[in-house]
Amino acid sequence: MNKIKSIILFSLSFLVALSFFAEKISATSVDVKSHPLGVASTFKYFATAGDLTFSNSGVKVNARIAAKTVDFGSSQVWLNNGSASFESDTSLTSPALVLGKVTSDNTNLLRGIGTANYFSNTSNKYIADSVSLPTSVDNNFLTKDMLNNVSSRKSTQSVSDYFNSLSSGITSFSDAKTQLENISNQYKSGTTAGASITSSTDTNNIETFNIKLDSSYSGTPIVFLSVDSSAEGIDIEVSGNSSEKPYIIVNWPETEFTFSKKYYVNGLDMSQQKWSSYIINNFSNASSVNISNAWEGYPFTGAILAPDASVNVGSSYESYGKYITNIIGSSISVATADNTSDSLINSDSFPGTSTSVSTSKPTISSVTFENDSNSQTATADGTTTIPIAANTNTTATINSTNLTSDSGYNTFVKVNDDSWQSFTNDQIISSLTGYSKSLTSSSANSISTLDSTTTIGLNLQRSNKLTFAIAKTSSATDISSSTIVSEFTTTLDETGTLTATMPTATSIGSVALGSTTGTTSSDQAVKFTNTFGVNASLTVSLTKDTSDNLFYDPTVTKMKIGDNSLAAFGASTETMSDSKTLLDNVTSNTASTTFALNVALGGSTAAMKEVTPGQSYTIPLYWSMSYSGNGN
């Protein structure tokens, strides 16, 4: 990446329309105007899928929390006076605690909720979908009064009711995760408005962004910075005149981020600590974010938006709490003895974005299978049959809703019980690992008649269970129940044929008076049709004829296939037959060859049968078809 980058980005307008919470909005699409972090804008901690964990003792929580559960482990939640608290500030909006569950073995959480001064505002309630209380109170300083308080302080609202009451399009933690993922992806490709940017990287790998505000811009500026992947720290310098402080979105490229060096913000006569309410650090690609090493003097600053990452703020939060605002992660770990910071992202003048953010997960509605001749659309948990007219591969196309190329979601397929594979629409299914063919029979036989040609063959089938998925990952090895948002399973049955068309008899031509031999009148064609490309063979057999019509001896009968002459048949008795393979291991859809016979009539040890001069004589042919293997 170039070390010197110049980006001049202006926009005439970046204002859009819907209020995020104040108006009733569609449950599938919302705008982030006035709420830059969506449903998590008013929460200090928002764990989208896992736990919020406090790992030090003596923790005091003075912040709004939303998480599946809060885990204090072996830590004790004490204030200096020996009691516990989640909130001591009456100005914090109720509820201060929104949980998926409270378990009976998390006694420190129970004690934190159940102590007498749980809220200075005693009318405040916590919300939890599930609360399980222990049967005894003889451990970890629990008392009956505490457990009674845990019960009485629980709101009658469910998590779904609460999220729904915000008119945010959110009804669950899962919906919230999707919304925050979509906001994160939208910020990844945002457009700067009301400012110009130049950037450079110094010899210490510190990238400096110079932001010059446009004095003629009438709205609130918003700036999107993309940090170089080689940068080990950033320096943000803001200059120019503006009546509004700019919002700064810092897009970090890492999938695993560990802060180790400088984070500096300067300009507009604001301290770095005051800038924290205007900065969002966006980790749209990250699975882990670690800022436990906040470099002294240049601490990590702003909100952390990492909806798919395990976020570890460590003990840096204790020293630099006011520098860090909202923390959003899949799970969150905090190692601080006294967390009193309640600073949040400033939502008062956030300009919003030019497009709305979906709160719905992408969903697979159906899958269409197609080959050169046919197309069939599958429904989930059913069986789809598609005939194959030629030796062509079947392709698949996922039909989905709410799936966009920049959403961070990707599509995958699993064939039977094999491993997940990346998938793109119109991909050939037969090329994937684990593809199998199941054939309905193993051989076919036909005894020819005196008709000119006959067709023998098999009906073939291959049946596979195909599972398609949309997942929040780009790697097939990372597919799991936590990353899959939509899954679709169907059984694909493909039907085809294996046939051969060939002559039923061969003629030795007209026999002249006194002649002792006859020859075939012409080369004769044999044609295969093999829609699945399996290994197939076709064999012709001759039997010694002891009828009154004609006598011929297989020991002196020679067959020619194409230009290749074959040795004589080896039968030596009147009851014995012999055979030769004409087409062997044929896998192509159409394969053909020709053959001819030279037949000696009679022989040194056999009396000639009476033949009529000018009469044409034919020899019946006996055909057998078989196949093996899985073809191509």
pLDDT of residue 327: 94
The answer to whether the bond into 95 is cis (omega within 30° of 0) is yes
**Start-end of H helices in 494-596:** none
A 10 A CB-CB count for 625 gives 21
d(CA 337, CA 164): 34
Cβ-defined contacts of 403-408 (< 8 Å, 24+) = 403/362, 403/363, 403/470, 404/362, 406/185, 406/188, 406/189, 407/181, 407/182, 407/185, 407/362, 408/181, 408/184, 408/185, 408/284, 408/285, 408/472
Helix (H, G, I), strand (E, B) or coil at 159: helix
Q: Which helix (H) or strand (E) holds 176?
A: helix 173-188
Each residue of 398-420: pLDDT tens digit?
998 878 776 678 999 998 888 89
The tokens describing 41, both together, are 């804008």
In this predicted structure, which of 6-20, 44-58, 239-253, 431-445 has the lowest mean pLDDT? 6-20
Q: Summarize pLDDT for 158-201 with one digit per residue, the tens.
A: 888 888 777 566 788 888 888 898 889 889 888 899 999 999 99
Q: pLDDT band at residue 73, thresholds of 50, 70 and 90?
A: low
Structure tokens at 396: 């698949």
Confidence of residue 568 (pLDDT cuts 50, 70, 90): very low
- All structural domains of the chain, each given as residue ranges with its CATH number in brackets, are 4-358 (no CATH), 363-442+459-496 (no CATH), 498-628 (2.60.40)
Asked whether residue 443 carries a pLDDT value surpassing 70, the answer given is no
Instruction: Please count the other Cβ atoms lying within 10 Å of the Cβ belonging to residue 616.
Output: 12
> Which residue type occupies 403?
L
pLDDT at 509 over 90: no
pLDDT band at 94 (very low <50, low <70, confident <90, very high): low
Could you give the 3-state DSSP secondary structure of residue 45? Answer: strand
pLDDT at position 26 is 31
Terminal CA-CA length for the chain: 44
Q: Can you spell out the DSSP letters for 482-510? A: TTEEEEEEEEEEEEEEEEEEEESEEEEEE
pLDDT of residue 232: 87
- What pLDDT, on a 0 to 100 scale, did the predictor assign at position 119? 46
Residue predicted with more confidence, 595 or 252: 252
Q: For position 470, what pLDDT does the model report?
A: 93
Return d(Cα 631, Cα 535) in angstroms, integer. 5
The Cα–Cα gap between 80 and 78 comes to 7
287 has a pLDDT exceeding 50: yes
Task: Work out the pLDDT band at 223, boundaries 50, 70, 90.
Answer: very high
Distance, in Å, from the CA atom of 616 to the CA atom of 511, rounded to the nearest integer, reads 7
The predicted model gives 214-218 an average pLDDT of 88
Q: What angle do CA 609, 612, 615 make, to 5 degrees?
A: 115
242-270 CB burial, b ≥16 within 10 A, e <16: beebbbbbbbbbeeebebeebbbbebbee
Query: Encoding tokens for residue 614?
Result: 């000018």
Q: How confident is the model at residue 70 (pLDDT cuts 50, 70, 90)?
A: confident
Helix, strand, or coil (residue 152): helix
pLDDT at position 330 is 94
Distances (CA, A) of 468 to 178, 493, 515: 20, 16, 71
Q: Which of 81, 76, 143, 137 is nearest to 112 (CA)?
A: 76
Length of the chain: 632
For the chain, give the mean pLDDT.
75
Half-sphere exposure at residue 95, Cβ-oriented, CA atoms within 13 angstroms? 23
Q: Indicate whether 521 pLDDT > 70.
A: no
Q: Is the pLDDT of residue 346 over 80?
A: yes
Q: Average pLDDT, stretch 544-571?
A: 48
- Among the residue ranges 59-63, 308-312, 543-547, the one predicted with the least confidence is 543-547
Distances (CA, A) of 249 to 136, 321, 417, 454: 50, 20, 43, 75
Q: What is the pLDDT of residue 145?
A: 84
Alpha-carbon distance of 94 to 145, in angstroms, equals: 22
Taking the C-alpha atoms of residue 591 and residue 542, their distance in angstroms, rounded to an integer, is: 23
* pLDDT for res 46: 95
For the stretch 455-479, pLDDT in tens is 888 888 888 889 999 987 888 988 8
- Residue 83 or 443, more confident: 443
**Number of other CB atoms surrounding residue 623 within 10 Å:** 22
Distance, CA of 172 to CA of 158 (rounded, Å)? 10
The pLDDT of residue 16: 27
pLDDT at 289: 94
149 contacts: CB under 8 Å, gap ≥ 6: 113, 114, 115, 116, 118
Contacts of 348 (CB under 8 A, 6+ apart): 34
Judge whether residue 557 has pLDDT over 60: no
Confidence bin at 225 (pLDDT 50/70/90): very high
The region, left, alpha or beta by phi > 0 then psi within -120 to 50, assigned to residue 293 is beta
20-34, 382-396, 441-455, 561-575 — most confident range: 382-396
pLDDT at 120 over 60: no
Neighbour count for residue 26 (Cβ, 10 Å): 13
> Where is pLDDT greater, at 85 or 285?
285
**Distance (Å, whole) CA 616 – CA 509:** 5
Average pLDDT on 75-93 reads 45
Starting at the edge strand found earlier in the chain, the sheet holding 206-213 runs 4-7, 195-201, 206-213, 233-239, 263-267
The pLDDT score that the predictor gives to residue 319 is: 56
Banded pLDDT at 38 (limits 50, 70, 90):
confident
Strand partners, 505: 620
Residue 321 has pLDDT above 70, yes or no: no
Instruction: Give the mean pLDDT of 52-65.
Output: 74
Mean pLDDT of all residues in 497-525: 72
DSSP character string of 94-151: SPSEEEEEE-TT-HHHHHHHHSTTSBSSTT--BEEEEE---S---STT--HHHHHHHH
d(CA 87, CA 97): 9
Under the banding of pLDDT at 50, 70 and 90, the label for residue 441 is low
Report whether pLDDT(371) > 70.
yes
**What's 610's DSSP letter?**
P
What sign does the CA torsion over 72, 74, 77, 83 have? positive
